[in-house]
Each structure stands twice: as C-alpha cells, then as structure tokens.
Chain A
Amino acid sequence: QKEVEQNSGPLSVPEGAIASLNCTYSDRGSQSFFWYRQYSGKSPELIMSIYSNGDKEDGRFTAQLNKASQYVSLLIRDSQPSDSATYLCAVRNSGGSNYKLTFGKGTLLTVNP
C-alpha cells in the first residue's frame, strides 16, 4: 500500500510569516508530486507541481523535493488570511498504477491577522 503522510495540523501562523508544510511518501519510484489547496466545502485546487529534486518557486509559493529522503514540502511566504485552507500533498504512483494520485490527509493551515 503506497502511502502519503502529512501532519494534520492545525498549523497556525501569523499574517506575514512563512508557513511550512511537509509531506513524506512511501513509493520510492514516484516521479510527480503536487500540492493542492482546498478551502472548506470546496474542491481541491492545484497550486504547485514538482518533478525534479530541488526547489520550484511560483510567486509566494515554493515547493521543495528530495527524492532520496522521499520528502516534499511547500513553503508559503508572506502568509495571508486568504491562505487559510487545507493543503493536500499528492503523489503519482510509479509502475503499473501510475494513472492514480495518492493523497495525504491534508494539513489545515490557519493564518491569523
């Protein structure tokens, strides 16, 4: 059973701070990694994808990938109250089941004004 683990939180940060969200995965052959944001009562929205080791930046968001450690993270700089949501880490399976994404349970982030 391929697994994705996230700290369920809640993670609470003050406005303007850096929020750090972490994710580990068990499928060593995975090549594609995604972060989704899900507001309460809404569907997941893709915010970052990363495929290679290292950092990938998009605006206030930075995704970091370390395949050797089977670890992926998301940094949110200058956090805003509108960033308050559940953040889902998703990993595409390797091998014969590479059609599916395996999701973590999500980390609830609260940004306090």
Chain B
Amino acid sequence: DAGVTQSPTHLIKTRGQHVTLRCSPISGHKSVSWYQQVLGQGPQFIFQYYEKEERGRGNFPDRFSARQFPNYSSELNVNALLLGDSALYLCASSLDGGPGAQYFGPGTRLLVL
C-alpha cells in the first residue's frame, strides 16, 4: 500500500507570493494533520482535519489555511509568504485523528527568497 504522498517535494517562492501544498493520506485513513518543521526544531502543529472538518489549529497566523476534500486528501495554503515561512512542511495521516499514531509523508521543502 502507498504511504502518505505530498507534492511538490521542493518549492522556491518569493516574499508576498502564495503557495499551495498537497497531501494524500494512507488509504483508509480519514484524518490529515499539517506540521511545520524549521531546521533544528521538532515539527510544530498547524492544522488537523478529520472527515473534512477542521478539528484543531495551532498557533499560526491567518495567512495559513487548509482544507480536506471528500477523498480525504488535503491542501495547505499559505498567503503573503514571509522569509520565516521557509521550512519543511509535513503532512501526517492517521486513521481517525484519535489517540493512535500519525504517519508522516516525505514533506515539502519550501524556500522563500
């Protein structure tokens, strides 16, 4: 079975631009979470979606938004990019967003110039 997939793998943008990152969860998983990881830090929670509903949001500005589609895939949108948005963006898949494990995709590495 395919694991979590994310696209694109790498992205270079300039300040002020908009970016859309995409994620497909493991087959049968209905929950997707998004994390941001900057160099030298652990992943920081951005959003979790379950059954197309937002279950939670981390301490990120409103420039960050996300949604989940009927096939459980998800996209993360970031508007008005700042240099500090440069990071590895990780999508994590879980069965139902409950107490079980989350499984990460390969990530999208975003560089903002």
Q: Is B55 an interface residue (CB 8 A)?
A: yes
Q: Is B102 an interface residue (CB 8 A)?
A: yes
Interface residues on B, range: 20 to 34
Bound together, the chains give a CA A61 to CA B55 distance in angstroms of 33
Interface residues on A, range: 20 to 34
Q: Is B56 an interface residue (CB 8 A)?
A: yes
List the one stretch of A11-19, A69-77, A95-103 in contact with chain B.
Answer: A95-103
Please provide the chain A residues from 56 to 77 with a CB less than 8 Å away from any CB of chain B in the complex: none
Q: Please tell me if the beta carbons of A46 and B97 are within 8 angstroms of each other in the complex.
A: no
CB of A23 to closest CB in B, whole Å = 11
Digitize B77-113: 1 where CB-to-A-CB distance is under 8 Å, 0 elsewhere.
0000000000010101000010111111111000000
Give the interface of B toward A (CB within 8 A): 33, 40-45, 48, 50, 55-56, 58, 88, 90, 92, 97, 99-107
